[in-house]
């Protein structure tokens, strides 16, 4: 949190990369202070930190994916109150659960077009709220 005021956005995804680097640096500092004590798996920790620091590593990609999922869930919670229950349910089933629009329409007593429109409206609001937070 102390580092947050120093962040300057330069490109899309830069906050996530900046946060990952801050985390790596903090973990390295913590690890160095603990080296005075015997540490089981110290080399493994060094290896993991190097992987996390490399933006092309599997671990860094997993970090990015986990970050995006977390932000997405938070954004969904923020915009949820903006929609009627039927709209939200149509969006959830069609867009998130990947169920066919015709099936969702039958289940909810909506038109197929209504289901598609629900998805469109929620995604539009999601893009507005999350502008710049997700790649």
List, for residues 76-99, the tens digit of each pLDDT value: 999 999 999 999 999 999 999 999
For residue 44, CA distances in Å to 12, 40, 47, 49, 63 come to 31, 9, 5, 9, 18
Q: Once rounded to an integer, what is the mean pLDDT over residues 13-36?
A: 76
Residue (of 33, 82, 24, 78) closest to 54 by Cα position = 24
Whether residue 107 is predicted with pLDDT greater than 70 in this model: the reply is yes
Residue whose structure tokens are 């429109």: 117
User: C-alpha 2: how far from its chain's center?
Assistant: 22
Tell me: pLDDT of 127 over 80.
Answer: yes
Q: Is the dihedral of CA 56, 59, 60, 63 positive or negative?
A: positive
The pLDDT assigned to 96 comes to 96
Higher pLDDT, 27 or 116: 116
Confidence of residue 29 (pLDDT cuts 50, 70, 90): confident
Q: How far apart are CA 41 and CA 96, in angstroms?
A: 40
Nearest partner of 47 among 61, 58, 33, judged by Cα: 58
* pLDDT at 42 (0 to 100): 60
Buried residues in 57-81 as b, exposed as e (16+ CB within 10 A): eebbeebbeebeeeeeeebbeeeee
């Amino acid at each position: 949190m102390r580092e947050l005021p120093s962040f300057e956005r330069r490109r899309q995804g830069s906050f996530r990369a900046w946060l990952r680097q801050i985390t790596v640096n903090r973990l390295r500092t913590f690890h160095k202070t603990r080296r005075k004590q015997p540490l089981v798996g110290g080399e493994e920790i060094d290896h993991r930190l190097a992987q996390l620091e490399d933006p092309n590593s599997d671990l860094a990609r997993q970090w990015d994916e986990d970050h995006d999922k977390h932000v997405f869930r938070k954004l969904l919670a923020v915009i949820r109150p903006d929609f009627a229950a039927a709209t939200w349910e149509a969006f959830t089933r069609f867009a998130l659960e990947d169920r066919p629009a015709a099936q969702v329409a039958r289940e909810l007593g909506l038109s197929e077009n209504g289901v598609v429109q629900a998805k469109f409206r929620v995604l539009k609001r999601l893009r507005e709220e999350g502008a710049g937070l997700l790649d």
